[in-house]
Structure 1
Amino acid sequence: MLKLPVEFKEKYQKLLGDEEATEFFAAMNEESKKAIRINTLKNPVKIAYSLNEAIPDLRDAYYGEISGEDPEWVSGYVYSQDPAAMFPAALSGVKPGDKVLDLCAAPGGKTTKLGEQLENEGLLVANEISGTRAKALRENVERWGIGNALITNESPEKLSPVFYDFFDVILVDAPCSGEGMFRKNPEAIDYWSQDYVLTCQRRQKDILNEAVKMLKPNGRLIYSTCTFAPEEDEQIVSWLVNEHDFSILDTEIKDEKISLGHPEWSDNNPELTKTIRFWPQDGVGEGQFVAVLQKNGGNAETVTKKNKKKKQKKNPLRLTKSQQELVGNVINQFNLPDSLSDWSKKAMVRNDHVFIPAIVLSEKTKLHIVNNGIELGILKKKRFEPGHQLAEVLGQLKQTRVVDLATLDDYQKYLHGETIKVQSDLRGFLLVSYQNLIFSFGKITGNGILKNFYPKGLRK
């Protein structure tokens, strides 16, 4: 039984009324729901999970539970995410070719959905201010096979001068008081107070002030939180409308299980009913608030042309012909997705790391970059060693240079970093799969031993 703060209970009794508040508090003590999303970027194969219970109004999303050692997770075919938390990215309207920013991105649930919608076309900037959480973000983006992402570890204030009037869509899943996660993470109750709610509101405004600078005129802002507090939800949306000239767009969600925003909890703007709320008593997932807004005014076309000129700069770190040959000897053996079809023209090398940048930034740009695009691998003395991110990207297509591990024991040993004896006529670098789910590179030597190239940092 959750011990909810007296001040919290009094607040929501006043906002909801006694009957609905009673349902709300009772639902807070029910079991949390777990769910998965299917990665449509990957080559379709059969997965082991039941897909019988779909989440309302979402595609490729189902209730269910997975393990971090399951081959579906390791290979980036599924992502474990709270059902309600899937909606902000799904409602973003992102399409291939857009420039998109996920400003508060870790651990990557919303980022991976945005990248999936882009279909490796356009640009996805995923930012996380925490260095530790940025590492987890990178691992999830890599696992999902996204090749057009720039991952940064910065404050919004550092990003806004670099990307002024730049993005078509910005998603801000703002740091909040976390009321919607009380039943999932009861420790969040310990630091809750009304003063903390107001502290979060001020922080959200600071973040959004910078986000607004980076959004193109007529661009879309998706604002979400995992709290119930009107101060952080409806009142923030009203502030965006009144202070920054935004319009609230209709999410077009009409499911009876999903609640609408409350104008009376803010400035009585009837447009606030276009925002949506998820309550535990609705039975969808944890607490979540989502608003889709559009930045009014200006001419986005002028900005677009200005930005295109920057792309004409010559690549200063291009591969030499001999380096291209070393890389090509390895990766040209595989079936390459469109994002890699002209890799030799796009690839760059820095500190022996070969990568295809998602965006070429000026050398004067002082941002802490965690990852830029696809890392193809590392150049070593007279040879090229393919990287793990490349393996996850190649998993988007059916491949022939693959060894499928025969047993669960072999799979678990490989995840631990062990070498495996395999039956295969293939030699050299190849992709490693289990149950036809590609998750790593390996290398078979002359005696049929599969050398392990699964990254040490990911080993179980």
Structure 2
Amino acid sequence: MSEQNITELLHPAFLARMKEMLGEEYDSFIKSYEVPRTYGLRVNTAKISCEEFEKLVPFPVTPIPWIPNGYFYPEDVRPSYCPFYQAGLYYLQEPSAMTPASCLPVTPGENVLDLCAAPGGKTTELGARLNGEGLLVANDISASRTRALLRNVELFGFTNAFVANETPARLRDRFPEFFHKILLDAPCSGEGMFRKEEALARDWTPEKSQELAAIQRELILQAADMLRPGGQLLYSTCTFAPDEDEGVVSWLLENRPDMELIELPSYEGFTPGVPEWGNGDPRLTRCVHLFPHTMQGEGHFMALFRKEGRADLIGTMSSTKPNADTRKWLELFLKEIGLKTLGGKPFDWNRVETRKDKVYYLPPLTGDFRGLTFLRNGLYLGDLKKNRFEPSEPFALALHKDDAEAVISLPVSDECLTRYLKGETLNIEPEEAAHTKGWHLLCADGYPIGFGKLVGATLKNKYPAGWRV
């Protein structure tokens, strides 16, 4: 933004409040609006290591100092056009927005909730940390945004996700003290995103923070009620407003005395919370603000809580049995592609469930999901057709490098990959395919992108129309 644009777009009440909050730092804060925004991506470490990613990535990247698997990339690069993006190897995300999920210490095998999850940026990091173990519940109250959330969960290849479209109140009633870790990235006034999204600056009003803070106070109490003893809750916003930040943290500390505010990791540029911006509780210094004049990113706020007590890693194991037809045709397909593992783990037939003619692979741990509105429970494997099984695109993306034998792997720069992602039929040289016919995984440098069926030298494209580039 230019100086003139700042005057035009930023509300005088917002500027006055920020000047009061920041004091001597105010001028540096205002000048940050003249600096171009930063662009970032976060590597899906469940599929590829950062070391391998750095070797393969076909465009320039620079590590983000405070995100172990985060990278800056230049503004003129379009990473979403790269086949590695369609393989779910990374997620495009503003660097500050990566920080909350990075600071929540998720351990494989836990029950984890992302309460306001769409479009899925933070969900995808939590799921990558679980690495297929435990249960990931990703919820959003908006039906349209939940569809975008599901797409990103499927793109990252998770086999243990429950994607819900529910009110937080209904989830609280169903899952009291159920989750080991909860992320609440609350709906907020978005002041930290003004440089990135000018519409937020135009729509801002002095009353907006108070209205949203009332919603946030309700949400954080509901989240705390779903956290099991010993569990951790990370509350975050992308705003600077004290009512929505320290004010909400103060509210939780006053109303849930079993919730303890704990220290977050410290990095250069992180700014401690200010007790006077809340109820004066000195513990509020354990919160963290990310300001655009101190970090290479936009604005964010975080607070990490721990509930008193002990969290035992106990969950209900999924236990189902596929019907005879499902087992017969799915086994034939798995044999055809030479499946060795699914997401690097043994295929578990106790997790296979058939609903009508659709086949699903349930999470290893489960909860009481009856009566809840949801888009997906586990991984959608594919469909039972007449005398055959036809795999889904999410199944392809759940497969990791070396999970299957029937692969056609092309360099990421090969134009055939782009043509495949557009839905075109490909001509395949005999030496490029594992077998002379049948189902194959098309891969970019070994990383699966989707299925195709080889007939002679022709690979029939099975990439879904709704996913095409």
Relative to the length of structure 2, the TM-score reads 0.90
SS of structure 1 residue aligned to 2:34: coil
The reply on whether 1:191 has 2:197 as its aligned counterpart is: no
Match of 2:262 in 1: 249
1:339 Cα offset (Å)? 6.7
Match of 1:64 in 2: 73
Q: Distance in 2 between matches of 1:397 and 1:266?
A: 52
Cα deviation per residue 1:229-280 (whole Å; 9 max; x = unaligned)? Answer: 1110011111111111221111131x22221111121122221111111111
1:347 Cα offset (Å)? 0.3
* Mapping of residues 215-364 of structure 1, within 5 Å: 215-245=227-257, 246-253=259-266, 255-296=267-308, 300=311, 308=316, 311=317, 315=320, 318-332=321-335, 333-337=338-342, 341-358=346-363, 359-360=365-366
The reply on whether 1:454 has 2:463 as its aligned counterpart is: yes
SS of structure 2 residue aligned to 1:68: helix
Match of 1:53 in 2: 62
1:442 Cα offset (Å)? 0.9
Q: Residues 361 and 380 of structure 2 are in contact (CA less than 8 Å); yes or no, is this contact kept in structure 1?
A: yes
Structure 2 residue identity aligned to 1:391: A
Match of 1:439 in 2: 449
Structure 2 residue identity aligned to 1:201: A
1:320 Cα offset (Å)? 2.1
Cα deviation per residue 1:151-173 (whole Å; 9 max; x = unaligned)? Answer: 00111012111111100111000
Q: Distance in 1 between matches of 2:20 and 2:69?
A: 38
Cα deviation per residue 1:303-351 (whole Å; 9 max; x = unaligned)? Answer: x76x64xx58x63xx3223321210111242231367524322200002
Q: Distance in 1 between matches of 2:174 and 2:271?
A: 38
* Mapping of residues 59-98 of structure 1, within 5 Å: 59-65=68-74, 66-98=78-110
Matching residue within 16, 36, 42 for 1:10: 16
Label 1:75 to 1:342 Cα distance change in 2 as closer, same or farther (>3 A): closer
Q: Distance in 2 between matches of 1:51 and 1:149?
A: 32
SS of structure 2 residue aligned to 1:376: strand
Q: Residues 263 and 270 of structure 1 are in contact (CA less than 8 Å); yes or no, is this contact kept in structure 2?
A: yes
CA RMSD of aligned residues (A): 2.0
Matching residue within 24, 27, 35 for 1:30: 35
Q: Residues 341 and 347 of structure 2 are in contact (CA less than 8 Å); yes or no, is this contact kept in structure 1?
A: no
Q: Residues 176 and 197 of structure 1 are in contact (CA less than 8 Å); yes or no, is this contact kept in structure 2?
A: yes
Once the two structures are overlaid, the 10-residue window that deviates more, 260-269 or 101-110, is 260-269
Label 1:108 to 1:351 Cα distance change in 2 as closer, same or farther (>3 A): same
Q: Residues 180 and 311 of structure 2 are in contact (CA less than 8 Å); yes or no, is this contact kept in structure 1?
A: no
Q: Residues 162 and 377 of structure 2 are in contact (CA less than 8 Å); yes or no, is this contact kept in structure 1?
A: yes
Cα deviation per residue 1:379-426 (whole Å; 9 max; x = unaligned)? Answer: 111100111111111125454311134764322221111111111352
1:97 Cα offset (Å)? 0.8
1:56 Cα offset (Å)? 1.9
Q: Distance in 1 between matches of 2:402 and 2:394?
A: 14
Cα deviation per residue 1:163-192 (whole Å; 9 max; x = unaligned)? Answer: 111001110000000000000000001221
SS of structure 2 residue aligned to 1:121: coil
The reply on whether 1:430 has 2:437 as its aligned counterpart is: no
Q: Unaligned stretches of 5+ in structure 2?
A: none
Label 1:339 to 1:348 Cα distance change in 2 as closer, same or farther (>3 A): farther
Q: Distance in 2 between matches of 1:83 and 1:444?
A: 41
Q: Distance in 2 between matches of 1:287 and 1:267?
A: 22
Q: Distance in 2 between matches of 1:328 and 1:104?
A: 38
1:147 Cα offset (Å)? 1.1
Label 1:397 to 1:88 Cα distance change in 2 as closer, same or farther (>3 A): farther
Structure 2 residue identity aligned to 1:452: N
Q: Residues 102 and 172 of structure 1 are in contact (CA less than 8 Å); yes or no, is this contact kept in structure 2?
A: yes
Structure 2 residue identity aligned to 1:377: G
Matching residue within 401, 405, 409 for 2:406: 401
Q: Residues 107 and 129 of structure 2 are in contact (CA less than 8 Å); yes or no, is this contact kept in structure 1?
A: yes
Label 1:91 to 1:195 Cα distance change in 2 as closer, same or farther (>3 A): same
Label 1:49 to 1:294 Cα distance change in 2 as closer, same or farther (>3 A): farther
Match of 2:418 in 1: 412
Q: Distance in 2 between matches of 1:233 and 1:15?
A: 13
Q: Distance in 2 between matches of 1:422 and 1:264?
A: 66
Q: Residues 43 and 398 of structure 1 are in contact (CA less than 8 Å); yes or no, is this contact kept in structure 2?
A: no
Q: Residues 135 and 366 of structure 2 are in contact (CA less than 8 Å); yes or no, is this contact kept in structure 1?
A: no
Once the two structures are overlaid, the 10-residue window that deviates more, 331-340 or 190-199, is 331-340
Q: Percent identity?
A: 35
SS of structure 2 residue aligned to 1:224: strand
Q: Distance in 2 between matches of 1:67 and 1:43?
A: 16
Relative to the length of structure 1, the TM-score reads 0.92
Q: Residues 71 and 435 of structure 1 are in contact (CA less than 8 Å); yes or no, is this contact kept in structure 2?
A: no
Q: Unaligned stretches of 5+ in structure 1?
A: none
Structure 2 residue identity aligned to 1:53: T
Q: Distance in 2 between matches of 1:49 and 1:116?
A: 23
Matching residue within 372, 380, 386 for 1:375: 380
1:433 Cα offset (Å)? 1.6
- Alignment length, in residue pairs? 447
Structure 2 residue identity aligned to 1:422: I
Structure 2 residue identity aligned to 1:5: H
Structure 1 residue identity aligned to 2:263: D
Q: Residues 82 and 286 of structure 1 are in contact (CA less than 8 Å); yes or no, is this contact kept in structure 2?
A: yes
Q: Distance in 2 between matches of 1:336 and 1:453?
A: 22
